[in-house]
Structure 1
Amino acid sequence: MKPTITIEYCPKCGWMLRAAYMAQELLTTFSDVIESVSLKPGQVSGVFRISVDSKVVFDRKENGGFQEIKVLKQLIRDQVSPGMSLGHSDRQENGG
């Protein structure tokens, strides 16, 4: 069975659009290897957490803030399809 990604967000913080954007990006990138992406309004203030099945792969509070989408895609990829190439998202940033 394919994994399900859940994005739990704080509606009071106005993070629904951020969660929807991330859901769109994850659906576009992982459409062949996941079952679905669900958005879950959180009950805890300030929550923004991404889970694959029940395993948390990103938590804004533990991380000290938000990550770039390419980092989140790498975290998700490592759980749902470790051998999958993310193309330009896998490339290291160069300083020049």
Structure 2
Amino acid sequence: ARITLDGAAKVIATPEQHAAEGAQTREKDGVVEQSPSYEKFQRHSLVQTFSINDEKLTVVVNHLKSKGSGCIEDWAEFNENAEPADLQGKCNA
């Protein structure tokens, strides 16, 4: 009863990674491999502004990157099956 919505909620789109099979190569012990395809989607952020006593408050809700899914950079560095040393999730860049 004390706040009202100030307009409609909005979505902030976050980056995605799309790479065709073979977009990158890596080599180890003389063996060259081509990357698998990557279709990685992020969870977008939700934004809503509220009016409270003639002032505005904007709230952004995020669901941060999944800790389990890697990206082509992880694959290229032979880290696709390893846990990151800082435990902050894969594909942070």
Q: Please say whether Structure 1 and Structure 2 have the same fold, judged by a TM-score greater than 0.5.
A: no
More helix by share: 1
More strand by share: 2
Structure with max Cα Rg? 2
